[in-house]
Amino acid sequence: MSDFGLIEDLRRWLAEDVGWGDVTTNRCVPESARCVGRFAARGAGVLSGIDCARQVFALLDPAVVFEAHLADGEPFEPGTPVATVSGPARPILTGERLSLNLVQRLSAVASLTRRFVDAVSDTGVTILDTRKTTPGLRRLEKAAVVHGGGCNHRFGLSDGILIKDNHIIAAGGIAAAVEAARSGNAMLRVEVEVDTLGQLEEALDAGADGLLLDNMGPDLLREAVALARGRAWTEASGGVNLTTVRALAESGVDYISIGALTHSAAAVDIGLDFEMQTSK
């Protein structure tokens, strides 16, 4: 995401949260009050979204000083200092929730991704995300997947052809769908979702570049990989979790795509602790 795109999103999210003004802060905290806020990890994980937090405070008040102690993609343990923010207390209090929401959410995606990547680290398999992202957060969540060591699948519907089961029904079959997909931009590779070896053979005969092997167990995956080898890349998908991912990877597939990276990552516990500064 460009800086401009991120800033525009942050402006919208601040407007959603602040509305007509932070009445609690503005009524209770003197305008002259100054503070130091320390972002600290209360659990283990992998950081993502620290630049978002920086921009939140910069938008609220350029006088706020933000110092990151870790970069996106770096691991942390409970108690690790993540960042320090200092300056006028009012904008720091106003930006606290949005900055934490973003860092906790994006670090959750990066952290879960890292667990999957570590689980298959010696197999040669690439862990991919999906389009099962939070509306409005796709660019940031996909960046978080990369921070966790994974890779991005297509960003949206316009940058890759993935013929799924309902496309096949609507197009009149696998061969018809692949032929129609080939009629447009030749630069786009064509991937077809299959859930049986019969469909896999149809997709290969039709000239598919890749095969999304949907909800296949390890034994069936091994057969599918053997049939596809040298003809198309293979991607396992469907209900993948940390218990099953290793066996799926050992089947020999090239990729494993996991919707849970973005739709089921639990927020990482990162807090912001305040200390007031006295005037000199």
**Among positive and negative, which fits the CA dihedral 261, 130, 48, 250?**
positive
Catalytic residue from among 97, 115, 182, 246 = 97
Residue in 164, 189, 231, 246 annotated catalytic: 164
Residue 164 is among the residues annotated as catalytic for this protein? yes
Q: Verify whether residue 193 is a known catalytic residue.
A: yes
**Could you give the C-alpha distances from 186 to 68, 157, 168, 179, 205, in angstroms and in order?**
44, 16, 20, 12, 18
Give 85's DSSP letter: E
54, 132, 139, 231: which is the annotated catalytic residue?
A: 132
Greatest distance between any 2 Cα atoms in the chain: 78
Which are the contacts of 222, defined by CB distance < 8 A and separation ≥ 6? 251, 252
Q: Is 142 an active-site residue?
A: no
**Catalytic choice (61, 195, 201, 214):** 214
- Residues 6+ positions from 180 with CB-CB distance below 8 Å: 171
**Which positions are annotated as active-site residues?**
97, 132, 164, 193, 214
